[in-house]
């Protein structure tokens, strides 16, 4: 046993030394070298740390790469990014010898460095690369791919992940994120990179773009609002220390609205995200500063973007103070507004399978085709004829001709237009939600997450649910179980389980695609026979019962 442990320790030390020798970055080379020196003395904590860092290469999937910044193959660093860029370029060169790749980056730590490394790899391989001029929202990069006619795009961002993380999101030439089998093909090419030292890195030769791409994006973004709709609306906005403030303000002014009132403490990009624990509008406490400013200034609506501004959160005033709308509520409101403005023949609405069924009911009533997709805009954006798509995690695509991804900037504009139009009628977003509930029933949704330190625990819970599926949840019979891993004509295979209950409630259990979490999505539908308040209370009671039951079923 001791001999085996000693052998494993030596293998770790050898792997770490080889990585240090091949690391192009002085900072990570020094840090890993110090850790290596400790490990060589037999320090168990250092050996455990090495074991985690060298447990495998950071996995490249449809979301690209995402992980903690640090040295080693299981972290985000220059070595991992250079390998990823080399793999992507090799994949592109299989069909185009001189591919054109446009690169964007947010304001997280090392995002600009990883962007330059990507451009250096592409140019070093004989391709063409262009980098956006400054930290900008992810939707600007998604727009730039099609605007510039690029073969692919890379956005260096970890979106709303914790401050210690960074990521690497890949798009193909249609402006959509990659889907299988492209992710596996790129991963295969990445695995063929034996050493970073073997990857040619250009010293220059890539283009740094000017402001024309952002200006073109803004010109197209403002077309999502009609020219003849009211413009009287007051908005409080927070960028949560991300890159959204300036772009959102410019978009509002260009569209004819007053610039939003910014949450000053969160308006400037800051990779430390000092005022929030998690820079995600859905997380408790993240919106406290914005809601406090709203109490002071009395706006019509509060809008928040996540750090790379591809998501949009909304809060509305009510009798008990300001209330954050759920992503499904915003998704339904945007859908209702777009339907009211009119849609063309062949236009399709779409949302992910974990989102509410309300949009489907609205589309059906309006005679508009609707599709359900797997989770993620990589799937939603590929729906043929897409006019509007959303997912419950605050992602909305209101301008698919220009941005085939979720876009928190254009979504914010439509929220402003909707709020201003309702205000001119003496109504509010809450009133419109009431109308939708009366017409289509109360669609009450909730979600719970189980965060784990060991990803293997998620697999164990999923295996347990498959081996011993629940026969009822909170006393209501399960009438149908779908193992989403089996796939269907409508949906490709994905790791997830979907349950339908006898009362038309729906439950979906799936691992998160970007974080070490098991996620559970809940929905109940309660018809409104006479009293909306009673229907909402009944729905809330049913939802709470299902949530409590599922918390027990998914315990790790």
* Interval 167-216: pLDDT, tens: 999 999 999 999 999 999 999 999 999 999 999 999 999 999 999 999 99
In the numeric block, the tokens 């989102």 are attached to: 355
In the numeric block, the tokens 């009395």 are attached to: 298
**CA–CA distance, 258 with 119 (Å, rounded to integer):** 38
Query: Strand 312-318's sheet: what is its strand order?
Result: 261-262, 235-238, 301-305, 312-318, 321-324
Average pLDDT in the 517-526 region? Answer: 97
* Interval 333-353: pLDDT, tens: 999 999 999 999 999 999 999
CB neighbour list of residue 174: distance below 8 Å, 6 or more residues apart: 145, 146, 404
pLDDT at 456 over 90: no
Peptide bond into 36 cis (omega under 30): no
Six token digits for residue 501: 């209950």
DSSP H stretches of helix in 167-222: 182-191, 212-221
In the numeric block, the tokens 């209702």 are attached to: 336
Average pLDDT in the 136-164 region? Answer: 98
pLDDT computed for residue 6 by the predictor: 83
**CATH architecture, domain defined by 232-438:** 3-Layer(aba) Sandwich (3.40)
**CA–CA distance, 109 with 71 (Å, rounded to integer):** 14
Average pLDDT in the 361-383 region? Answer: 97
Q: Do domains 232-438 and 441-553 have the same CATH topology?
A: no
* Interval 251-279: pLDDT, tens: 999 999 999 999 999 999 999 999 999 99
pLDDT computed for residue 316 by the predictor: 99
**In terms of Cα–Cα distance, which of 285, 299, 293 is closest to 428?**
299
**In terms of Cα–Cα distance, which of 191, 199, 196, 192 is closest to 56?**
191
pLDDT computed for residue 8 by the predictor: 86
* Interval 468-480: pLDDT, tens: 999 999 999 999 9
pLDDT computed for residue 446 by the predictor: 97
Exactly one of 159, 355, 410, 505 is catalytic; name it: 159
pLDDT at 1 over 60: no
Q: Under CATH, which number does the domain 441-553 receive?
A: 3.30.310.50
DSSP H stretches of helix in 256-401: 288-297, 327-341, 358-366, 377-380
pLDDT at 116 over 60: yes
Would residue 159 show up in a list of annotated catalytic residues for this protein? Answer: yes
Return the number of other C-beta atoms located less than 10 Å from residue 51's C-beta.
Answer: 14
Percentage of the chain with pLDDT > 70?
100
Given pLDDT bands bounded at 50, 70 and 90, which one contains residue 5?
Answer: confident
**CA–CA distance, 537 with 529 (Å, rounded to integer):** 13
3-state secondary structure of 182: helix
Q: Where do the domains of the chain lie?
A: 1-55, 62-210, 232-438, 441-553
Mean of all residue pLDDT scores within the chain: 96
H or E segment to which residue 431 belongs = helix 429-440
pLDDT computed for residue 373 by the predictor: 98
* Interval 229-252: pLDDT, tens: 999 999 999 999 999 999 999 999
pLDDT computed for residue 513 by the predictor: 76
Q: Under CATH, which number does the domain 62-210 receive?
A: 3.40.120.10
**In terms of Cα–Cα distance, which of 546, 504, 490 is closest to 521?**
546
**In terms of Cα–Cα distance, which of 457, 204, 430 is closest to 333?**
430
**CA–CA distance, 513 with 517 (Å, rounded to integer):** 8
Higher pLDDT, 120 or 278: 120
């Amino acid at each position: 046993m001791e001999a085996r442990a000693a052998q494993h320790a030596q293998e770790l030390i050898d792997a770490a030394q080889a990585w240090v020798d091949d690391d192009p970055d002085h900072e990570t080379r020094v840090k890993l070298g110090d850790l290596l020196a400790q490990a060589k003395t037999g320090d168990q904590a250092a050996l455990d740390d090495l074991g985690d860092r060298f447990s495998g290469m950071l996995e490249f999937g449809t979301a690209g790469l995402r992980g903690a910044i640090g040295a080693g193959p299981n972290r985000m660093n220059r070595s991992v990014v250079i390998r990823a860029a080399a793999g992507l370029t090799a994949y592109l060169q299989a069909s185009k010898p001189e591919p054109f790749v446009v690169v964007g980056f947010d304001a997280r730590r090392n995002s600009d460095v990883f962007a330059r490394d990507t451009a250096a790899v592409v140019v070093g391989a004989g391709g063409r690369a262009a980098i956006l001029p400054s930290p900008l929202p992810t939707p600007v990069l998604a727009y730039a791919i099609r605007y510039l006619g690029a073969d692919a795009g890379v956005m260096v961002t970890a979106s709303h992940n914790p401050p210690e993380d960074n990521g690497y999101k890949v798009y193909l030439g249609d402006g959509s994120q990659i889907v299988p089998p492209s992710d596996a093909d790129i991963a295969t090419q990445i695995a063929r990179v034996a050493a970073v030292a073997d990857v040619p890195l250009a010293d220059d030769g890539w283009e740094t773009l000017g402001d024309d791409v952002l200006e073109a994006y803004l010109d197209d973004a403002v077309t999502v609002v009609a020219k003849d709709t009211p413009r009287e609306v007051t908005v409080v906005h927070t960028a949560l220390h991300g890159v959204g403030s300036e772009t959102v303000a410019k978009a509002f002014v260009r569209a004819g609205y007053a610039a939003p009132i910014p949450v000053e403490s969160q308006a400037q990009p800051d990779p430390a995200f000092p005022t929030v624990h998690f820079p995600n509008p859905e997380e408790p406490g993240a919106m406290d500063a914005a809601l406090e400013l709203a109490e002071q200034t009395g706006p019509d609506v509060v809008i928040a973007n996540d750090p790379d501004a591809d998501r949009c959160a909304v809060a509305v005033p009510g009798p008990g103070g300001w209330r954050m709308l759920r992503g499904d509520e915003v998704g339904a409101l945007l859908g209702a507004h777009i339907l009211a403005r009119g849609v063309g023949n062949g236009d399709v609405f779409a949302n992910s399978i974990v989102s509410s069924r309300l949009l489907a009911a609205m589309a059906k009533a309006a005679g508009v085709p609707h599709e359900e997709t797997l989770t993620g805009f990589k799937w939603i954006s590929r729906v043929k004829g897409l006019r509007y798509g959303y997912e419950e995690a605050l992602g909305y695509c209101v301008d698919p001709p220009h941005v085939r991804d979720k876009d928190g900037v254009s979504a914010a504009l439509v929220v402003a237009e909707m709020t201003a139009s309702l205000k001119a009628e003496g109504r509010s977003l809450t009133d419109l939600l009431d109308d939708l509930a009366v017409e289509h029933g109360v669609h009450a949704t909730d979600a719970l997450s189980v965060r784990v330190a060991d990803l293997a625990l998620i697999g164990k819970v999923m295996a347990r649910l498959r081996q011993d599926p629940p026969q009822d949840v909170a006393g209501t019979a399960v009438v149908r179980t779908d193992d989403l891993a089996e796939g269907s004509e409508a949906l490709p295979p994905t790791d997830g389980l979907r349950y339908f209950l006898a009362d038309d409630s729906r439950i979906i259990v799936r691992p998160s695609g970007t974080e070490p979490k098991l996620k559970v999505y809940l929905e109940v539908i309660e018809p409104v026979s006479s009293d909306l308040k009673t229907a909402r209370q009944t729905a809330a009671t049913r939802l709470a019962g299902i949530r409590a039951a599922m918390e027990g079923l998914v315990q790790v």
